[in-house]
Amino acid sequence: MEPAEVLPIVSLLSIVTVEFGGHALLRFITTDRDKLGELRERFFRAGHAHAGVLLMLTLVYFLYLPRARYSDGLEWTFGAILLAGVLAQSGGFFVHLGIGQVGARSAGTTLTRVGALLIAVALIALSAGLIHEL
């Protein structure tokens, strides 16, 4: 199977988990708001929003990836880097939600930064491939 056929399916199925997260967020906000607290609510919202938006980005990315005319191996690599970056960036917010403190760094904030770098690598790789094909 081609990477551009499989990877979008992974993204679409991941969006289902974001929908479940939205349901959980609404439940927390409407019933358990005091238990969640302001810091955790902010990071829950940020993680959820980043996951949704970035997964939509992956769908566009996978439409353009074949146009860069990379080998299947590179397409799998760049697609995996992008998906790992999305999981790391949005997941970092949830890690910080669990272990972070106000005004302090945590493993979650580091994970979020690593995710951003992975996303940047994948986007630059796609851009380079598309420029090369002009």
The domains of the chain are located at 3-132
Of residues 27 and 108, more confidently modeled: 108
Mean pLDDT of the chain: 92
Percent over 90 (pLDDT), the chain: 73
pLDDT at 40: 83
pLDDT at 33: 59
Q: How many CB atoms lie within 10 A of CB 95?
A: 19
pLDDT at 31: 76
DSSP string of 75-117, one letter each residue:
HHHHHHHHHHHHHHHHHHHHHHHHH--TT---HHHHHHHHHHH
**pLDDT-based confidence at residue 6 (cuts at 50, 70, 90):** very high
pLDDT tens column, 70-117: 999 999 999 999 999 999 999 999 999 889 988 899 999 999 999 999
